[in-house]
Amino acid sequence: MLTWSAPFYDRRMPGFEIVTHVMAPPERVFDLSLDVEVHTASMAGSSEEPVAGVTSGGLRPGDTVTWRARHFGVLWRMTSVISAYDRPGYFVDEQVSGPFKRWHHAHHFESDDHGDTMMIDVVEFAAPLGPLGKVAEILALRSYMPDLIRVRNRYIKQVAETTPAAG
């Protein structure tokens, strides 16, 4: 039975929630979601790679990572921090510096009645540049960002369900 409920977030900002069912225990899905190499592989389509901070292995509370990626034909850098962490229930990554006015991504992991995981992503973001940023949100980001998270989640699901857990 799922016990998680969506937190309140600022409805004036674009945001979305994606739920992904993964046939693996929450601990496994949680750890894969914080693995830098798994993230890099999941974002191969945008050539995303870590360039500073933690650049390999698993992220922990307070860790930062700077990603470089190509989106919309433009090379971007974004530094995020793991600002909340309660294994295996949830963690939050937030932008410290980068292209967004705000980026807050809460990752929740709940065990269902079969020991599988409901991975719940709650993302809140805002583009910079005032009215111009609002136009970008409406025309591009509100569809692009959920699609990007779905790509990531499909990869995590595939790895969690097909690759034996380490150790």
Query: Where do the domains of the chain lie, and which CATH numbers do they carry?
Result: 15-162 (3.30.530.20)
pLDDT-derived band at 158, boundaries 50, 70, 90: very high
The sign one gets for the Cα dihedral 137, 138, 144, 147 is positive
Comparing C-alpha atoms, which of 100, 145, 148, 146 is closest to residue 127?
100
Report the amino acid identity of residue 57.
G
Do the beta carbons of residue 68 and residue 75 sit within 8 Å? yes
* pLDDT exceeds cutoff 50 at 77: yes
pTM, full prediction:
0.86
Q: What is the pLDDT of residues 110-125, one digit of tens each?
A: 998 888 999 999 999 8
**pLDDT for residue 46:** 84
Q: What is the pLDDT of residues 92-149, one digit of tens each?
A: 999 999 888 888 999 999 998 888 999 999 999 887 767 666 766 666 667 778 888 9
Averaged pLDDT, 49-72: 94
